[in-house]
Structure 1
Amino acid sequence: MFDFGFSELFVIGLIALVVLGPERLPRVAKQAGQWMGKLQRYVADVKSDINRQMELEELRNLQKEVTDAARNVESSFKSTVDETKSELDSIAASFEGPASGESTSGGQPQTDWDKIYAVRRTRDRIQERRVEREKSLGIKRPKRRP
């Protein structure tokens, strides 16, 4: 804190001996030492309190960041689940409901060929949706060789 050399301390001690005298100097030195110890303990307590408050604030900030990140992950997960669910519902609806020109009576295909073509059309629609989604996400697929 203060930069006192040995020579300065020696001069201060000599002046204190002359002013206070040999009887009172030990008591004054003892009292000064006690005050210095109390001051050092007080400063150390203040430093530790400040450090604890800073660490507590850092932990609060970290907790806030983790909570925000968890909310972001949860919302993206929910949106992905909702999107997938809607796609699966549309696929299920295409299987359940007849498309135009697929059947002539009661919503059910008349022959096995009608069923086969309905499945192929559904598979082609799924493939088209997959390709569109990959294009929107920027995913490039390798070209197939004929």
Structure 2
Amino acid sequence: MRNRTGNNPKRRIVKDALPDMAARELLLAHVRYVGSGHHKIYPANYGLGRTNPRPTSSVCDALRPLPLAEATELLRQGVLRAMFSTYVQDGFPKYIWSVSADGTVYEAKTHPNTPGQYHGYPLEKEDRMCDEVKAAWEARC
């Protein structure tokens, strides 16, 4: 599988004037992790009829199946720590980042056609966002 083309320079974690916890909880009430067959080898419990990973897409379950509950919790923790982008589509950040217990950095992304519904994938270590996400994650614990 080829590495996905990452390092989008428009990706930025919100830094100044972090939303207060009430705003984060309101956002959390409206976001949902849905997954995508383009980033899965194993459909696990996502309700996906089939998977079809793109050659240029990261696969979130390449090392192990990632259950929906775990992916949902990663998204939840990303929102609670304000680990999201400032770019907003219909009131939703385009990106939400999180770090798993084993140190894997995940990026969740929404699409303009389905705002608030996110699919995610691990970032390669070479992606400049990995170090930035890890540093912000630790600072916001």
Q: Common fold, TM-score beyond 0.5?
A: no
Which structure has the bigger radius of gyration? 1
Which has a greater percent of strand?
2
Relative contact order higher in (CA < 8 Å, ≥ 6 apart)? 2
Range into which the TM-score falls when normalised by the shorter chain: under 0.3
